[in-house]
Amino acid sequence: MKILKLVYRNLLRHKLRNLLTILGVAVALFMFGTVRTVVTAWSFGVEAASVDRLVTRHAVAFIFPLPYSYRSQILEISGVKTVSYASWFQGTYKDQSFENFFPRLACDPETIFEVYPEYLIPKEQLATFKKQRNGCVVGQKLVDQHGFKIGDVIPVKGDIYPGDWEFTVVGIYKGKDKTADETQMFFNWEYLNERNRQVSSFATDQVGWYIVQIKNPNDAGTVSQSIDALYSNSAAKTKTETEKAFQQSFVSLSGAIITSLEFVSYVIIGIILIVLANTIIMSARERIREYAVLRTLGFKTFHVVGLIVGESIFISLIGGILGILLTFPTAKGIGAAFPTMFPVFAVATSTVVIAFGFSILVGIVASIFPSVYAARMKIVDGLRQIG
């Protein structure tokens, strides 16, 4: 208890210097937490992927379509429960600004919410969606951002599929939990296919990919092989993989960016170490005579070391906790500002644990040099120390 009191007293001796050090640690941990949150948010879709869903796409590249006729054939494969499909439509809503970008997908209204049970939609709205050819369903975050409501018409200028398109909002879906993506717009694939018959016959009866719900997640490998074997000699060969692997393939495209961000986050930890070590070394140097006096009064070496380590960890912990606390409202603000880029932007538990662990580790490491110096110091030499 005496050592803790002395640590507390020492913290108050140079209030401004210690305060600035605490703020420096807080800013650094805040930056670390924010950068780590960006990294985890980037790959959140991978972690949220369902174990009972497979994705079947063209074997050459995702941009190539697959025949609609594959659906009934895949459905007959043993172990398959439900087969849905979707096509990337995109287009331009209002203008090319980032705030007006959100995924627009042509899908099968009969099965899309069956294979994605984490998307919740009222039964009456789903029934309307199945009946109205130009109807669409939008996520709650799009409603919050753009003010969409039931009955609104969303005009979209086509790019992949040219022309002027109009979609009537007939439903709003919400996520079952915070991991569900509420930034998408779904509309009836038949609406797209009918237009293609008139103006783009080459794209008629083509889908972007199939979502295959399986009965037993343990059969994912077997079912995937069965699907791909079925089309191994066809003009449109397939590649079937788990939803997690499918999501990971998109994340890997940004691998260099993610790696750079992770590197920056650890550089920030190095900066914390330098700042804190400088403060602790200065404080220890100023107190060499005091440590010698304490040793003369009967304090042991570990008591002196405890004073130095305790002060270092105390400063690091206070700054670390403050930095972690600041990360939460910042993450909430970033998530609100970029809902389509980061459908789920939340501080992960692992980020908090790592940041807290680093704050303790940095406090210990920063105190090593002055602690070793104080432990090896002879009392006589310490009493002769000036300044």
- 123 and 203 both lie in a single domain: yes
- 202 and 278 both lie in a single domain: no
Q: How far apart are CA 190 and CA 308, in angstroms?
A: 72
- 323 and 355 both lie in a single domain: yes
Identify which of 321, 277, 270 has the alpha carbon closest to the alpha carbon of residue 23: 321
143 three-state secondary structure: helix
- 92 and 33 both lie in a single domain: no
Q: How far apart are CA 277 and CA 274, in angstroms?
A: 5
The total number of structural domains in the chain stands at: 2
- 32 and 88 both lie in a single domain: no
In a domain, 51, yes or no: no
In a domain, 188, yes or no: yes
What number of CA atoms fall less than 13 Å from residue 246's CA on the CB side?
23
Q: Which domain holds residue 363?
A: 2-44+254-384
Q: How far apart are CA 131 and CA 139, in angstroms?
A: 19
- 39 and 65 both lie in a single domain: no
Calculate the alpha carbon distances from 315 to 13, 94, 113, 307 in Å. 13, 51, 51, 12
- 179 and 277 both lie in a single domain: no
Is the C-alpha dihedral spanning 192, 196, 200, 202 positive or negative?
positive
Calculate the alpha carbon distances from 140 to 99, 120, 232 in Å. 15, 10, 41
Q: Return the axis-axis angle of helices 255-286 and 15-42, rounded to nearest 10°.
A: 160
365 three-state secondary structure: helix
Per-residue pLDDT of the chain in tens (387 residues, 90 and over written 9) = 566 666 666 666 667 777 888 888 888 888 888 888 887 777 666 666 788 999 999 999 888 999 999 999 999 999 999 999 999 998 899 888 888 888 999 999 999 999 999 999 999 999 999 999 999 999 999 999 899 999 999 999 988 888 899 999 999 999 988 778 889 999 999 999 998 888 776 778 999 999 999 999 999 999 999 999 999 999 899 999 988 888 776 666 555 677 777 788 778 778 777 777 777 777 767 666 766 776 776 777 777 777 777 778 888 888 889 999 999 998 888 877 777 667 677 888 888 898 888 888 888 888 887 777 777 777 766 666 655
- 104 and 215 both lie in a single domain: yes
Is the C-alpha dihedral spanning 231, 232, 237, 240 positive or negative?
positive
Q: How far apart are CA 136 and CA 154, in angstroms?
A: 9
- 136 and 228 both lie in a single domain: yes
Q: What are phi and psi of 28, to 5 degrees?
A: -65, -45
Q: Which residues fall within 8 angstroms of residue 153, CB to CB, at 6 or more apart?
A: 166, 167, 168, 169
- 266 and 358 both lie in a single domain: yes
Picking from 173, 207, 236, the residue at the C-terminal end of a domain is 236
Using DSSP bridges, classify how beta strands 104-107 and 185-188 pair: parallel, antiparallel or unpaired: parallel
